[in-house]
Amino acid sequence: MRFPAKRPPVPGHRRARWSIGSTNWSIGDALLLAGIASLRVIFERARGHVIAGSDLGTMFIPSYAWWWSRPRWLGGWNPWVFGGYPANGDPLIGHVHPLGVVWAVLRPLDAAAVETVLGAALAAIGMAVYLRQICRGRVPALLGGLSFGLGGFVTSHAVHPPIVRAAMAVPWALAAIEALDGAALAGGVGLAVGAIVLSGHPQSIFYALALVVAYAACLGRPSEPRRLLALAAGLGLGLTIGAATWLPATALMRSTPEWDEPSQSSRSGRDSTCAP
């Protein structure tokens, strides 16, 4: 099986660099995308509305606000759910994702609004950065970024932060695969994969990782030994970073009484962990 060769540079065209701050156009484009992504939230907050509908208000806002109200790194025991359980082992919430810092410094409803903006903005900027690696046009990259960051998937799941967190990291991983080599490639892929694994919501993590791995295998030029090693190292680094999520979750699931002798209902629940 032959993989496509690395695209040769186009005469007179400067290839977009990985760092969004490396050229003037990229800084302006990033600010433009972030500004557009924040308009709806700013408008609704100005009208006195809050973003707290559906699962966001009933599950995620209380969970994040409680977990980040003080350090809970060693188990995060939550006495308010299930009569008490170690929240760090909950594979759905994604307590330790970096965006959780927003919940540590802002009031819950303000944090929900800020994360909604950050999710859409980072998704849009990440897609634009990726598209700048594979196409020449600035406008197509901006339109593609807006289509992703403000598209149906991201906006419809604004009330499900873990799903948006996983989705927004995918284009950053693809951009790293396209733009970087060597240790930088391993580091870029590792950080993006780590962000995916820390996001929460196992189905979204599974789908996002499957896409990144498939892209790396088909378009990441793994036939070059150095790139194959860097890609594998990046994946391993990301899974290591994400161990803060999947290790406690594995331990919690294995400690449940029905792990060894599951009932029909628990079997179906475990079988659907990575299913729609």
Predicted local distance difference test score (pLDDT) of residue 265? 52
Cβ neighbours for 157, distance < 8 A, ≥ 6 positions apart: 163, 164, 167
Q: What is the pLDDT of residue 146?
A: 93
Residue 270 falls inside a structural domain: no
Q: pLDDT tens digit string along 225-236?
A: 999 999 999 999
> Domain for residue 67, yes or no?
yes
> Which pLDDT does position 167 carry in this prediction?
95
| Residue 209 resides in a domain | yes
Whether residue 262 lies inside any domain: the answer is no
**Residue 149 belongs to a domain:** yes
Report the alpha-carbon angle 215-220-222, nearest 5.
115
Name residue, tokens 């594998």. 232
Q: What counts of helices (H) and strands (E) characterise the chain? A: 13, 2
pTM (two decimals): 0.83
- For 153-176, how does the pLDDT look when each residue is reduced to its tens digit (9 = 90+)? 898 898 999 999 999 999 999 999
Query: Is residue 4 assigned to a domain?
Result: no
Residue 5 within any structural domain of the chain = no
- Who's near 150: CB < 8 A, 6+ residues apart? 36, 37, 120, 124
For the chain, how many structural domains are there in total? Answer: 1
Tokens 């594995």 -> residue: 250
Instruction: With respect to residue 31, please indicate whether it lies within any of the assigned structural domains.
Output: yes
- Range of 70's domain? 24-255
Distances (CA, A) of 70 to 111, 161, 249: 15, 20, 21
What local confidence, expressed as pLDDT, does residue 269 receive?
A: 52
